Amino acid sequence: MEFRRVKGLGRMHGIPHSDPFLVPVGPGVPRSGSSLLGEGVLVLNRHWTAVHVCTVRRALALLFQDLASVVTKDYESYDFESWRELSAADPHSEPCVRTPRFALRVPEVIVLARYQGMPPRRLKFNRRNIFLRDGFSCQYCGDKPRRDDLTIDHIQPRSRGGLSTWGNIVVACMKCNTKKGDRTPGEARMKLRRKPKRPHWLSCLGAIPGAKGRTVWQKFVDKAYWNASLQE
C-alpha cells in the first residue's frame, strides 16, 4: 500500500514532527486520505447534545489533547488511549488514519469534555452555508455541476434593490444564472424549486462530506432533521 504525507498535521496537533500522519492512498482505498480527514464528525457538548460538525482532522486533534472522547453507536465513550487500543484490535474493519506507529479508526461522533454551550440558533449567513442549504444544486434546473460551475444568484437582482439575505439568494448553475441575467424569475420565466429561507443548522447535515455514511449521527440528531437533511 502506498502512503502519502499530510502536511501540517504534526506540529499543529502536538504530535512530534518526526511522527507525521501518513494516510493510505491508491487502489483499494475507498476514499483518499486527505478527503477522509475533511469529512464531518458530529460534535456533542458535555451534556451529549449535538452542537456542531467538525472535520475528522479537528476531531482527532481534540482527541489527542484530551479535550474530547469518541462516542460509538452503543453510547460508549473512548479517550485517546482506549480508542487507539480499540483501533489496534481490529485495524481493517473501519476507515483508519495511520501513523507509522499506529492506526486510529475515524470517529463519527465526539463528545467535548468541558464545553456546555448549546447549538447555534441562527446559522451564519455565508457562501458555504448557502451552498450547504441548497445541497450544491442549482435551484432553477436542479443540476449538480462541479462546484466551480455553481454561482450565487440574487432572485431580485442586486441592481434592482435585491438584498443579500437568506430569502433572496439561491445557488444557481452558470447556465441558469446567465439565462436569468438581470431579471426576476417571473420575467425570465424560470421557476425556483423551493422558496429559500434561513435553514436550521441541522438541516444542512446531509450535504456535509461523508454524512450519508454516518448512521450513528441519527442517534443524536432529531429524526425529522435527519430525514430532511438526507432528501437532497
How does strand 103-105 pair with strand 40-44? unpaired
Binding mask 147-186 for Zn ion (x = CB under 5 A): --------------------------x--x----------
**C-alpha cell of 203?**
438541516
Sole window of 125-133, 141-149, 150-158, 180-188 interacting with Zn ion (rule: CB under 5 A): 141-149
CB atoms closer than 10 angstroms to residue 70: 26
- Name residues contacting Zn ion, limited to 32-71 (CB under 5 A): none
The tally of CA atoms less than 13 A away on the side-chain side of residue 59 is: 29
Sole window of 26-34, 82-90, 95-103, 137-145 interacting with Zn ion (rule: CB under 5 A): 137-145
Cβ-based nearer residue to Zn ion, 92 or 146: 146
Under DSSP, is residue 54 helix (H, G, I), strand (E, B) or coil? strand
Sole window of 67-75, 95-103, 133-141, 192-200 interacting with Zn ion (rule: CB under 5 A): 133-141
Q: Least separation, in Å, of the C-beta of 202 and Zn ion?
A: 27
Contact partners, residue 72, CB within 8 Å, separation at least 6: 78, 109, 216
* Burial class for 135, CB neighbours closer than 10 Å (0-12, 13-18, 19+): middle
Under DSSP, is residue 229 helix (H, G, I), strand (E, B) or coil? helix
Q: Least separation, in Å, of the C-beta of 140 and Zn ion?
A: 5
Q: Does 140 bind Zn ion (CB under 5 A)?
A: yes
Binding stretches for Zn ion (CB under 5 A): 138, 140-141, 143, 173, 176
